[in-house]
Amino acid sequence: MINKKVIVLAGGCSPERNVSLASGKAVYLALKSLGHEVVAVDPSLGEGGVIDIGNMEIENRYPSEEELASLDSGKIIDCINSDAFDDVDLVFNVLHGKWGEDGHVGSLLQMRGIAQTGSGARASSVAMDKIMTKYLLSSGGVNTPEWANAGKEQFEDLDFIKDIRSDLGNKLVIKPYDQGSALGMTIIEGSNLDDISSALKIAGKYTDIVLIEKYIEGRELTVAVIGGESYPIVEIIPHQGFYDYTNKYTKGMTEYICPADIDEHLGGFIKDQALTAHHLLGCEGFSRADFRLDEDNAVYCLEVNTIPGFTEFSLLPMSAKAGGLEFDGLCQKIIELATK
């Protein structure tokens, strides 16, 4: 193994900042243990963005509005353009959410000619856009829940909301079209128009366009794709509520079954769907596709993540481990895929 000079990008300006820092810390420590020369950089800090991530205590919460307001996305350009990136072999990008996972940082790295892990700017941008993802999945034969979208001018339009309820049913998933970690997501279980309007406004705090999906009753599954291969399926069973930020990142709040107890033929089909989704969106290196499986064993792809979590609770490392790839080996494989 040839050791590399690696920058781990973590933190950033999105509400997923703390999750990104936790992912970055795990990756940083793994790469150090493998003998790579590693520096962690938080691009939201600008030119002097090097951080001692190995000794950081990272809080398991959303950053406050005040904390997010204090971060300047413009400093990301200064950071990527700084001397710290001059001699680097590659960047291991674990920036979740806006300004990181959405292709912005990827574009800056591509313009500097710096190798990066995972997908390039175009695929990252497409996958972050849940509406565009749905169009591409449907065009390639990957089933996805029925959906509609709403702009801010429609959040209180009761006639529009009635039409949505008539088309998609009383149980709905309402969420921003370009966020992760269940930010701003609400599950509506009744037909109350005011509840739907309120959910639209909650999602609208994060984005100008809101995605409205028909809720699919059934099992929640996810599949990792690494190096052109689908890994074992993970089933996600929250102890209460849905798989929101708290259930994702609080130990003991969710049960994970990996490999999921699914018929071999059906499981093979779901893994093939994950691989098809990966290719339809133009992903590279690795991705993670999320699914629902209804009581009739119909499979619905919800979204594709180009920079999934790398924390101790994260699903891609869990799937990789079940497939025989421990965390250190996973990080090394991702580096090798990025530098081919």
Residues annotated as catalytic (active site), given as ranges: 16, 181, 249, 288, 290, 303, 305, 309
Helix 17-33 and helix 327-338, axial crossing angle in degrees, nearest 10:
90
Given a contact cutoff of 8 angstroms between Cβ atoms, the answer to whether 43 and 49 are in contact is yes
Distance CA 74, CA 156 (A): 34
Distance between CA atoms of residues 116 and 98, nearest Å: 17
- Cα–Cα distances (Å) from 53 to 6, 45, 90, 287, in that order, read 14, 14, 18, 24
Nearest of 220, 214, 226, 159 to residue 187 by alpha carbon: 214
Is residue 153 a contact partner of residue 169, using CB atoms and an 8 Å limit? no
Specify whether the CB–CB gap between 333 and 325 falls below 8 A: yes
Instruction: Please report, as a single letter, which amino acid is at residue 250.
Output: T
> What Rg, from alpha-carbon coordinates, does the chain have?
20
**E-assigned strands of the chain?**
5-9, 37-41, 50-51, 90-93, 147-151, 172-176, 186-188, 209-214, 219-226, 229-230, 234-238, 254-257, 286-293, 299-305
Beta strands in 118-183 (DSSP E): 147-151, 172-176
